[in-house]
Structure formats: C-alpha cells, structure tokens
C-alpha cells in the first residue's frame, strides 16, 4: 500500500466521519466545526487529485467564508449552551432508511455501470489553462457564464443587504 | 488497490446521503443549511472526479464545480440573511415554528 493510498483513505475517513458528526451532534457549534473539518477533507481530496486551483478555491470560499458566516449566524441566533432538540425516533428511523436505501440504490447502479473514458491527451488544470479557458470567447470558453455569475453575485450581495437591513420603527 | 474513480464516487455518494439525512432530521434552519452545503460539496467532488478520470482532455467539470462554488456562496449568504431576519421577527429559527407565510 503506497503513501498516496494511505493519504486517500485518511482524507476519506476525515470527510465522512466529520460529515456524519456534523449532521448528528446536538450542539450546533460543534456541528459547524465538524462541517469545517469535512470541507477541509474535501479540499484535501482535491489536492490528492492534483486539482490545486479548485482545492484553493474550496478552502478560501467554503472553509474561510461560508463556515465563518455560519458561525457568526449561530452567535446571532442561538443561546449559548442550548442543545438542539432531539428529533423524534420515527423521523430518525425513516430518514436513516431513506438515506440508506438511496445510497444502496446509487451504489448498485454505479458498480453495474462501466465508465468509458477518453484516451486523448489530458489538459493539465493549471491556473494559466483555467484562466485562458475562463475568459476565452471561443467555442470551449466560459466567458458568458463568468459574466452571468458576476452579475448574480452582485444581485445576491445587494439582496442580502436589503433583506438583513434593520427596518426603521414605523412609529417615528 | 490504488484508489480511483469508484472510490471517489463512493465518498461523494455517501456524503450526499449524509447531507440528505441531516436535511430530513434537523429542524433548525442553520443546521439544515449545513446539510445543503454537504450535498453541494459532494456534487462538486463528483464533477472533479469525472473530469479527472474520464475526460481529462476537457475542463468542463472543473468549470462546473467552480461555478457551483460561486453560486453556493451566494446561496449561503442570502439564506443567512433570511435566517437572521426570521430570527428578528419570530425569535426562533425552528422550522416548526415558522409556518405563517404572511405576518
């Protein structure tokens, strides 16, 4: 067993174990921290697949951005030390059953299917290749989605400010 | 055995259904949002794995996952703004207690 394989299984275990803990722990702050570790594990898997740019984006956006946002909103909305209410046993059983059946069905389909890849020369996912492709106007470029996403982010930012703005008291 | 496409697909399927389980059992809006983040991450992992192992001559999967990350960031920001606004008006972010559409 090579070092790469060992690292892969360690990253997989980190991702899945902290993912399970993030959805089952009853302390909401711990759930956020376990989510953080799960996201770091996924970034590690991207590094393991040598997609360095996506791994860096994952760390910056998810680990550095979204988790911090979630932790701030926990501070704003939860009383310290409160446990989350325990879900009813019936709901737990049926959710576990639904998730397990879906997982079993997916894996069954997956292992019966034989994927056939291409044999053409690979394009390395370096930052310069990604940048060229992202701003290219040609047939395989992504300039239009790039612009659309930038407009979407602007709209979402303005929307967040408007929604979270404290409205003035009506009686003034 | 060297880990390959099927190992990554196993991880992403497991993570997807962990997220689905969390979405079904949790009743707090922030923890439900965390489950949705897990689901989105498993989808990203799938895109990257297919790009690396099946079609390394194209970069479509990579761009899909980059755009999914950007849209997920926007979605999380809007969701948290809504959650904070809801907490101001209801003093609770439990989905069982937020059943009025209009108030």
Nearest-by-Cβ selection for A19 from B15, B33, B57? B15
**At A144, is the secondary structure helix, strand, or coil?**
helix
How many beta-carbon contacts under 8 Å exist across A and B?
219
Q: What is the CATH number of domain B5-97?
A: 1.10.287.3510
Residue A5 lies in a domain: yes
Domain locations in chain B as residue ranges:
5-97
User: E strand or H helix at B46, and its extent?
Assistant: helix B29-53
Q: Taking the model in full, what pTM does it have?
A: 0.90
Q: Which two tokens stand for residue A32?
A: 């956020």
What is the Cα–Cα distance from B77 to B8, expressed in whole angstroms?
A: 29
The total domain count for chain A is 2
Asked whether residue A77 falls in the same domain as residue A156, the answer is no
- Which chain A residues contact residue B34 at CB under 8 A? 22-23, 31-32, 35, 70
Phi, psi (deg, nearest 5) at residue B28: -105, 135
**Which structural domain range is residue A151 located in?**
124-172
CB A94 within 8 A of CB B30: no
Given CB atoms, is A105 within the 8 Å cutoff of chain B? Answer: no
pLDDT per residue rounded down to tens, chain A (172 residues): 789 999 999 999 999 999 999 999 989 999 999 999 999 999 999 999 999 999 999 999 999 999 999 999 998 888 767 788 888 889 899 999 999 999 999 999 998 988 888 888 888 888 998 998 888 888 888 999 999 999 999 999 999 999 888 766 665 5
B103-to-A20, A80, A160 alpha-carbon distances in Å: 37, 28, 20
- Which chain A residues contact residue B33 at CB under 8 A? 70
What is the Cα–Cα distance from B50 to A115, expressed in whole angstroms?
A: 10
- Which chain B residues contact residue A74 at CB under 8 A? 30
Residue A4 lies in a domain: yes
Residue A61 lies in a domain: yes
Residue A16 lies in a domain: yes
Q: Which two tokens stand for residue A113?
A: 């299917």
Q: Which CATH number is A14's domain given?
A: 1.20.120.1200
Residue A154 lies in a domain: yes
What is the Cα–Cα distance from A103 to A144, expressed in whole angstroms?
A: 36
Asked whether residue A75 falls in the same domain as residue A142, the answer is no
CB A105 within 8 A of CB A112: no
Domain boundary among A25, A53, A84: A84
> Tell me, what's the pLDDT at A169?
62
Which of left, alpha, beta for A79 (phi over 0: left; psi -120 to 50: alpha)?
Answer: beta
Given CB atoms, is A110 within the 8 Å cutoff of chain B? Answer: yes
Domain boundary among A62, A84, A106: A84
Asked whether residue A9 falls in the same domain as residue A71, the answer is yes
Residue A148 lies in a domain: yes
pLDDT per residue rounded down to tens, chain B (103 residues): 788 889 999 999 999 999 999 999 988 899 999 999 999 999 999 999 999 999 888 888 999 999 999 999 999 999 999 888 888 888 888 888 777 765 5
- The radius of gyration computed from the CA coordinates of chain B, to the nearest angstrom, equals 17
- Which chain B residues contact residue A98 at CB under 8 A? 20-21, 24
Residue A110 lies in a domain: no
């Amino acid at each position: 067993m090579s070092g790469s394989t060992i690292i892969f299984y360690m990253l997989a275990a980190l991702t899945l174990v902290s993912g399970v803990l993030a959805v089952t722990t009853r302390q909401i702050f711990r759930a956020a921290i376990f989510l953080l570790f799960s996201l770091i594990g996924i970034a590690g898997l991207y590094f393991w697949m040598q997609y360095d740019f996506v791994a860096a984006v994952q760390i910056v956006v998810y680990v550095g951005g979204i988790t911090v946002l979630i932790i701030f909103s926990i501070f704003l909305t939860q009383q310290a030390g409160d446990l989350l209410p325990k879900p009813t046993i019936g709901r737990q059983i049926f959710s576990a059953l639904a998730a397990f059946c879906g997982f079993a069905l997916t894996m069954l389909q997956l292992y019966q299917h034989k994927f056939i890849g291409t044999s053409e020369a690979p394009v390395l996912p370096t930052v310069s290749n990604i940048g060229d492709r992202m701003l290219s106007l040609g047939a395989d470029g992504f300039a239009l989605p790039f612009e659309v996403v930038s407009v979407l982010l602007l709209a979402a930012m303005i929307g967040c400010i408007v929604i979270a703005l404290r409205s003035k008291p009506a009686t003034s | 055995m060297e880990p390959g496409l099927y190992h990554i697909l196993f991880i992403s399927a497991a993570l997807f259904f962990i997220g689905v389980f969390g979405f079904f059992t949790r009743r707090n809006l922030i923890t439900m949002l965390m489950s949705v983040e897990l689901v989105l991450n498993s989808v990203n992992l799938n895109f990257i794995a297919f790009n690396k192992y099946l079609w390394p001559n194209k970069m479509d999967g990579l761009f899909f996952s980059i755009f999914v990350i950007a849209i997920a960031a926007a979605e999380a920001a809007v969701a948290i703004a809504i959650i904070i606004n809801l907490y101001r008006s209801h003093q609770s972010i439990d989905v069982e207690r937020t059943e009025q559409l209009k108030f």
